[in-house]
Amino acid sequence: MSESSKRSVPVDPRRLAQVETLLKRYPYLVQNERQEIIQFLQKGRLRDRSLLTTNPSISDELEAFRNDHDKELSLSGGEFFMIASIIMLTVAAVASLWII
């Protein structure tokens, strides 16, 4: 199996299926099940999150979940500051090279 075909498989297809199953039951979840979905949406592998968001059978539930938990799913102040700092440093570096 080539390296690129290894990367095209989700890291944990069972976890993806578990989150899909939980979302199908939304909003009838207990707190730890909600937390599992939040954790998956925040920290899950990008490909797995993409597969989840393109699943039409749970699109309404996923949208409702995101609307109901927007504060938990948004960037924290520290994450926002870090991203803004990286962008500003990159712009400053490019500007200083442009002047030289």
* 21-79 pLDDT, tens digit each: 999 999 999 999 999 999 999 888 888 898 998 999 999 999 999 999 988 888 778 88
Number of structural domains (the chain) is: 2
For 37-58, give the DSSP string.
HHHHHHHS-HHHHHHHHT-GGG
Regarding whether 58 and 99 lie in a shared domain, the answer is no
Regarding whether 60 and 12 lie in a shared domain, the answer is yes
Regarding whether 92 and 64 lie in a shared domain, the answer is no
Regarding whether 7 and 36 lie in a shared domain, the answer is yes
Regarding whether 92 and 49 lie in a shared domain, the answer is no
Regarding whether 81 and 45 lie in a shared domain, the answer is no
Say whether pLDDT at 10 is over 60.
no
Regarding whether 48 and 23 lie in a shared domain, the answer is yes
Residue 38 is part of which domain span? 3-68
Strands of the chain, DSSP E: none
